[in-house]
Amino acid sequence: MTRSEKPDPRVVRRARWERATSSPLLVCGVLFIVAYSVLVLVPSLPGWLSPIILAVVIATWLIFLFDYVARWLLTPRGQRGRFVRATVPDLLSVLMPLFRAFRVLRDIPYLSHRTGAAVRTRVVAYAACYAAVFIYVISLATLRVERDAPGSTITTLGDALWWACVTVATVGYGDTYPVTGLGRLYAVMLMAGGIVIVGTASAVVISYLNEHILRVSRRDAEGSTPVE
Amino acid sequence: MTRSEKPDPRVVRRARWERATSSPLLVCGVLFIVAYSVLVLVPSLPGWLSPIILAVVIATWLIFLFDYVARWLLTPRGQRGRFVRATVPDLLSVLMPLFRAFRVLRDIPYLSHRTGAAVRTRVVAYAACYAAVFIYVISLATLRVERDAPGSTITTLGDALWWACVTVATVGYGDTYPVTGLGRLYAVMLMAGGIVIVGTASAVVISYLNEHILRVSRRDAEGSTPVE
Amino acid sequence: MTRSEKPDPRVVRRARWERATSSPLLVCGVLFIVAYSVLVLVPSLPGWLSPIILAVVIATWLIFLFDYVARWLLTPRGQRGRFVRATVPDLLSVLMPLFRAFRVLRDIPYLSHRTGAAVRTRVVAYAACYAAVFIYVISLATLRVERDAPGSTITTLGDALWWACVTVATVGYGDTYPVTGLGRLYAVMLMAGGIVIVGTASAVVISYLNEHILRVSRRDAEGSTPVE
Amino acid sequence: MTRSEKPDPRVVRRARWERATSSPLLVCGVLFIVAYSVLVLVPSLPGWLSPIILAVVIATWLIFLFDYVARWLLTPRGQRGRFVRATVPDLLSVLMPLFRAFRVLRDIPYLSHRTGAAVRTRVVAYAACYAAVFIYVISLATLRVERDAPGSTITTLGDALWWACVTVATVGYGDTYPVTGLGRLYAVMLMAGGIVIVGTASAVVISYLNEHILRVSRRDAEGSTPVE
């Protein structure tokens, strides 16, 4: 009975909490992105709407923070260090809410395949989704701080998205670049993301190549000894 | 008899279809590239030629679309999801026809080797061919939209090819860059391609290095125990 | 008794030396960074402080050099070549002292885990620490030589750090770049570091992906044959 | 007796040829680099020296070509295709002579180690040497065509080397870039080299990381079952 030990009741409660909060948190994530987009992109909000939007942004942020703390408390004392290490993406999603939204992707049915192809497909799908949201949110944030800076080259959402793509791909033409301190901080975050994306692309190609070589070798081995 | 089950007659028909259409589709791909090149590079076509060229471009496009739909229909209902996932490159080739042309490369006789070297050689050859066509076609498309834009730095085919190489390699000097929305979209496609190309290069070097280390280790092991 | 041979007394002495000097060298590394920062960032030092700061910078440098020579001498003659090859990072840390400071990180308790996850966490932690110090020190050094050069674009610490990040990530917008010979040399060092950082990121992602694929495969294999 | 078949006498003759020509070809490679450097860097050669230098450049080139053809002829007819595939670097060295010079590095005594560390050290050493010569020769060639071009930003050897490093590392600030067609062609070669160098760096880090994880796992496994 080494494998199926009786689970800690607190871990069970955390799993139940996570299942119950999955959908509400997805809604929160989408709400945050919409509210933040309105905040940045609509220059002159009506006086009554402005505080509502700001309230939504802050409220969704607090909800994610509350959820993380709740899950931390539902973890047995001895496993909290491991919980923090294992949920670094969730911790990041507290800082950048919609990331959390993609947790729903975890339950797609691929997982039951035996080959590496399914895992690779999932990794590519995840990476693409994360990259898209990452680029969009950073673009918005950068646009907000750069728009009115003197000498700025990022003044529209189009410019900001273009700049973000050029940065993530580590191309960096230099036609658009941030000039404010905060804008440069966002840029460094994008660069870090870009390095991870390039790494993920390499990893997927390498995994595919290895499996392909293995399959060809085996087929040859079978082909050359057709009769046992 | 688990391995050699009787194949589905529809799969057989699809294989026969694919064998029969291979050469005509290669011709179509080449035709498309030539017609598109003429369309972009020859500024003032004679009045009677212009519609012919345009017709060729559209017709070849439709043929690739028709071929993909036909193969989808020739796939048994339960395997269509897998077919779509397995033929993502073909789906892309519907959008960018000549890609399909390189399917002929699949039948080169290397495949019967047992080492990974042959697979690596094939991967490098494929990647180089795809990259060349990819860069050429994107250059043409970008040149078309950028040529007459105000403030454009991409005004000749030479500029466009140079810009595309600088972008794919993720160097991005910034002496040439797109300024139109569509041009920037093509640039993002190039960057995505560049990331995959860098990843493939890494994968090939890694595969080679691993095999090399393994071979050296084995030779040492044999050398140190010459007599059993 | 092939494995637990009696160790050479000199190797034992070197190990004892390394244990004893660990903390003092960490202090030296921090001192160096602080002194060098003051030297570069405070433009008009009081007359009496300037020689003290310079003395600290030179003294810490000499201490690291002395430590390396001492360890080399404590290595048996036949193993000195191997010692040099195995301590390339330490040799580099003689040239860039604080690097050595991170040796204390070696003793963190993770190492006793069996999975690759702990090793990856450590590699990421190391790489991040090294990258941070590397970028900071190179920024200072570049700022020192570029600040007063005609046509320079790197005139403040903020500019220098921003330039260093843009270079390490191989983005290279071109809004800031060194114009002096020494500044360009530092830039080439940053680029080499950037290539290693990108490589490390790829390595970590690949290692994670491989293990993930393996785990999924095994779980499937167990799941499909629940009863033996 | 499957493994130690009697070798073809022609293969033996090729091996003898390769051993005999190794040192002279190294001298040729060095001669070529020196002569080419003089040709590019010394603007006004005395009238009598200019043809001598040019003769040296052309003669060394012809010698490498002759050597390659000789080795091809010394290969049995059936193995010539494999010879060409296996000696792509040598074929490239016909186009860029000093590359050949590094063949002497093949005989360094590391090879007899059993671990992957020695192979990695060798790969890094090779890559660094190749990269250095590659960057130097391309810099010279680019300087030659760019120096007198209107609007050129590459006018001294320092500029050319700086530009080459910035390009190989795929940073691309954009302060220096080629403007002539031939200069751009050399730049594309540098970019291709840069992609391979980044890939090699990844490969080495990955190989090291994998071995490190394996070693840690084994030590743990041994440590937890000290007595059998």
Nearest CB to D111; choose among B198, B203, B216: B216
Q: What is the pLDDT of residue B188?
A: 92
D167 CB neighbours in chain B (<8 A) are 171
A220 CB neighbours in chain B (<8 A) are 112-114
With b for 16 or more beta-carbon neighbours within 10 A and e for fewer, the A39-69 pattern comes to bbeeeeeeeeeeeebeebbeebbebbeebbe
Chain mean position to CA D32: 15
At A188, is the pLDDT very low, low, confident or very high (cuts 50, 70, 90)? very high
Nearest CB to B207; choose among A165, A198, A210: A210
Rounded distance between C-alpha atoms, residue D41 and residue D36, angstroms: 8
Is the CB of A202 less than 8 angstroms away from the CB of B204? no
> Bigger pLDDT: A90 or D101?
A90
Above 50 in pLDDT, residue B107? no
Rounded distance between C-alpha atoms, residue C133 and residue C147, angstroms: 21
> Bigger pLDDT: B158 or D85?
B158
Is the CB of A221 less than 8 angstroms away from the CB of B114? yes
Dihedral Cα C210, C215, C218, C224, nearest 10 deg: -120
Which among B210-219, D50-59, D86-95 has the top mean pLDDT? D50-59
Chain mean position to CA A155: 26
By CA distance, what is C213's nearest residue in A? A116
Residues written for chain C: 228
**Where are chain B's structural domains?**
1-107, 111-223
Q: What is the pLDDT of residue A146?
A: 93
Q: What is the pLDDT of residue D131?
A: 83
Q: Token match 């895992």: residue? A: A119
Above 90 in pLDDT, residue D177? yes
Is the CB of C174 less than 8 angstroms away from the CB of B174? yes
Contacts A–D by Cβ distance under 8 A: 8
Is the CB of D173 less than 8 angstroms away from the CB of A173? no
In the predicted model, what is the mean pLDDT of residues D5-34? 77
Closest CA to A87 of A184, A38, A14, A139: A14
D202 CB neighbours in chain A (<8 A) are 202
* Regions of chain C short of the pLDDT cut 70: 1-8, 89, 92-118, 216-228
pLDDT tens track for A146-185: 998 998 999 999 999 999 999 998 898 989 999 999 999 9
> What letter does residue A6 receive in the DSSP assignment?
P
Q: What is the pLDDT of residue A227?
A: 36
Which two tokens mark B96?
A: 């960018």
C213 CB neighbours in chain A (<8 A) are 116, 119-120, 207
Q: What is the pLDDT of residue C108?
A: 42
Nearest CB to C170; choose among B170, B173, B202: B170
| Interface with A, mutate which of C121, C165, C171, C207 (most A CBs under 10 A) | C171
> Nearest CA to CA, how far is D196 from chain A (Å)?
13
Chain mean position to CA B195: 14
Q: What is the pLDDT of residue A40?
A: 86
Is residue C35 within 8 Å of residue C59, measured between CB atoms? no
Is the CB of B119 less than 8 angstroms away from the CB of A202? no
Query: What long-range pairs does D214-221 form, CB within 8 A, spacing at least 24?
Result: D216/C111, D216/C118, D216/C119, D217/C114, D217/C115, D217/C116, D220/C112, D220/C113, D220/C114, D221/C114
C171 CB neighbours in chain A (<8 A) are 167, 170-172, 191, 194
Nearest CB to A213; choose among B112, B119, B171: B119
| Interface with B, mutate which of C202, C204, C210 (most B CBs under 10 A) | C202
At D116, is the pLDDT very low, low, confident or very high (cuts 50, 70, 90)? low
By CA distance, what is A203's nearest residue in C? C206
Q: Where are the alpha helices (DSSP H) in D174-225?
A: 181-224
Rounded distance between C-alpha atoms, residue C217 and residue C223, angstroms: 10
pLDDT tens track for A93-104: 666 655 554 554
D207 CB neighbours in chain A (<8 A) are none
At A30, is the pLDDT very low, low, confident or very high (cuts 50, 70, 90)? confident
Dihedral Cα C58, C60, C65, C67, nearest 10 deg: 160
CB atoms within 10 A of CB B23: 10
B199 CB neighbours in chain A (<8 A) are 198, 201-206
Is residue B92 within 8 Å of residue B99, measured between CB atoms? yes
Tell me the CATH number of domain C111-223, given options 3.40.1000.10, 1.10.287.70, 3.30.300.30, 3.30.920.30. Answer: 1.10.287.70
pLDDT tens track for B56-103: 888 888 888 888 888 888 888 877 877 777 777 677 666 665 555 455
